[in-house]
Amino acid sequence: MLLFVGLGNPGSQYRHNRHNIGFLAIEAVARAFRFPAFKAKYAGQVSEGQIEGERVILLKPETFMNESGRSVGEAMRFLKIPLKDVVVFHDELDLEDGKLRVKLGGGNAGHNGLRSISALCGNDYRRVRLGIGHPGDKSLVHHHVLSDFKPDERLWVNRLCDAIVAQVPLLVKGEDMTFASKVALDMSKP
């Protein structure tokens, strides 16, 4: 069993924020693999289904970004999911728009959602880093992550979510580098 966590902030006012790209990715997976509607559980929204014969729990914490670890920890404890089977989809300032990288553990690079999960659950979980680009000045970061994707940016966001969906069976099988390479290849196509 795997726990896929999409990071974001709850509420319609945040729906299309850059900070919510993790939610968008998880929702795309749920739609594509016909998971049932999300339901309130573990201080978040949860849906459960199968990908490649593997039971996958999708979680969107509703604790706001800074306290994501509370929701993730609650789900992990109740479902008895080890940290190695947790995959967190999150926005990444240090990657260009539409780029994706996967890594195990590491630093949190100032990301409050990751910091919360690491503090409450441990650090050695898989991270799917979804590039949203950096605004160029540290003082603009807060506004940047909490601003909506512009209509033309939503095109690459949708393409990225589609590429994730197409390749997510590789992620489920633990083939992280192949998953990342194939998403990059899908994103490079015109």
pLDDT tens-digit readout, 12-45: 999 999 999 999 999 999 999 999 999 999 999 9
The confidence score (pLDDT) of residue 27 equals 98
Could you state, in chain order, the average pLDDT of each consecutive group of 10 residues for the chain (190 residues)?
97 95 98 98 98 97 96 98 98 96 92 96 97 95 95 96 98 98 94
Cβ pair 35, 26 in contact under 8 A? no
The confidence score (pLDDT) of residue 109 equals 84
Cβ pair 99, 51 in contact under 8 A? no
Place of tokens 């902030």: 9
The confidence score (pLDDT) of residue 190 equals 82
The answer to whether 142 is a known catalytic residue is: no
**2-6/54-61 β-pairing:** parallel
Consecutive H or E run containing 165: helix 151-172
Kindly list the structural domains of the chain, giving each domain's residue range(s) and its CATH number in brackets, ordered by start: 2-188 (3.40.50.1470)
From 16, 19, 111, 144, the catalytic residue:
19
Cβ pair 168, 87 in contact under 8 A? no
